[in-house]
Structure 1
Amino acid sequence: MIKIIMHGCNGKMGQVISEIVRNDEELTIVAGIDPYTMRENEYPVFNDINKCDIIADVIIDFATATAVDKLLAYAKERKIPVVLCTTGLSEEQLKTVEETSKEVAILKSANMSVGVNLLFKLVQEATKMLAKDYDIEIIDRHHNQKVDAPSGTALAFADKINEVLDNEYEYVYDRSAERKKRSKKEIGFSAVRGGSIVGDHDIIFAGLDEVIEFHHSAYSKAVFAKGAVTAAKFLAGKPAGRYDMSDVIKF
């Protein structure tokens, strides 16, 4: 039985993960961390991670960026692997993640969905074959409460593509400022924000007389929670190092 500390247990994602773990015979949540402790859970909840003295095999984090520094220090001190799902980390925090991973296993991905991470690989393979003769565009669609554009996942797709292209391509976010034809070596972004769209991403390879599209739709946040739980099973017991979802699904 893998023992989990749920960091951010009383948030939406924390509760979704709690439900998934409740129905998984391989896992159990032994403690939760959240500044809000009034919700009733099947495990003890601490409002400060440093108050948690319960032994665990792995921490799943879906909290806020402001809580990540204490989380990393705690994980480093106790040598507990972390599935780090919180987004919006500063450059300084990202450096801390890298430093901490030298002493404890940390898994961090731009998107925790197994499907998205599979698509990362498929898009890279397509890029090897198509980039020379096809223009590359990325469209992301999200709900009307999302504040960043393009999304982190859209940027991750571009980074995966550009990695194959020796990082020679420029990212273009807005074409309204200049009236000119697109250059060959660019990746264009379009962002749609509206309604309750959880997350849609299209990667378009547009060539002469044909278009090839890769598409992913998330219909609920549960896909990210399921990915995090799968990652926790993978990470428990792993040696120190930086991991991502491509390690979990073993391309």
Structure 2
Amino acid sequence: MTNIIMLGCNGRMGQMITDIVAKDDEAQIVAGIDIVNNRENPYPVFTDIKDCDVKADAIIDFSSANGFEERMDYAVDKQIPIIVCSTGLSDEQLDYLKEASKKVAVLKSANMSLGVNLLIKLVKEAAKKLATEGFDVEIVEKHHNQKLDAPSGTALALADSINDEMGGQYEYVYDRSKVRQKRDKKELGISAVRGGTIVGEHDVIFAGTDEVVTFSHTAYSRAVFAKGSVTAAKFIKGKAAGLYDMADVLM
């Protein structure tokens, strides 16, 4: 049994994870943390993380970037491995995370979906052959009209995985409207679409002469991210201090 503390338990993702864990015989939420305690939950909820004295095997953090450092300090102090799902972290906060990972197990991924992380592995393998053979690489991501950042963190993670595999030779291009010139071979285009209630779609396109290979992932519900975080919590239980990601979960 994996005992979980849920940070941001009363938010949309927190409640989704609560429902998923309730049906999981291998995990349970033993405490929740949220600045607003306005829901009935089957576990105690604390509005201040410092008041939580419940023992656990893992923490899932789906709260905002605000107060991030305090949550990392709590994980280090209590020696509880933490799954960081917060988005919009600053460079300084990411550095703080890396320092914390020297003292406690930390899992951070741009996308908690198991399918997306498998996609990242697949496009790295594809790049070895197709990009080497002169295929152009383009990434198109689509999300709902309420999403603030563009391109998505997942699109950047896909681009980085390909670029790392190819020795960092690509330059990312986000907008071609101001430049009238042919596409450079060392260009990796990233396009963002925003509209409606699209949960998340990512296409990685390898375009060669007379053929195109496309890798696609579509999320139809945010539940895929919730399920992935619970799988990650089971994985990180008992792990030594260090920085992990979803690729480690898939190994």
TM-score, length basis structure 1: 0.99
- Which segments of structure 1 move beyond 3 Å, counting only runs of 4 or more? none
Distance in 2, matches of 1:186 and 1:206, equals 12
SS at match of 1:66: coil
The C-alpha deviation readout for 1:202-244, integer Å capped at 9, x for no partner, is 0000010010000000000000000000000000111100000
Percentage of matched positions with identical amino acids: 63
Amino acid at match of 2:106: I
**Residue equivalent to 1:42:** 42
**Residue equivalent to 1:114:** 114
Distance in 2, matches of 1:115 and 1:2, equals 23
Distance in 2, matches of 1:150 and 1:103, equals 32
Amino acid at match of 1:77: D
SS at match of 1:116: helix
Amino acid at match of 2:116: V
Amino acid at match of 2:70: K
The C-alpha deviation readout for 1:108-160, integer Å capped at 9, x for no partner, is 01110000000101000000001131100000000011111111100110000
SS at match of 2:3: strand
**Residue equivalent to 2:159:** 158
SS at match of 2:124: helix
Aligned residues: 250
Amino acid at match of 1:82: I
**Residue equivalent to 2:127:** 127
SS at match of 2:67: helix
Residue segments in structure 1 that go unaligned for 5+ positions in a row: none
1:226 matches 2:245? no
Distance in 1, matches of 2:144 and 2:201, equals 10
Distance in 1, matches of 2:228 and 2:199, equals 16
For residues 39-188 of structure 1, what are the structure 2 equivalents within 5 Å?
39-132=39-132, 133-188=134-189
Residue segments in structure 2 that go unaligned for 5+ positions in a row: none
Distance in 1, matches of 2:33 and 2:185, equals 49
Deviation at 1:190, TM superposition (A): 1.1
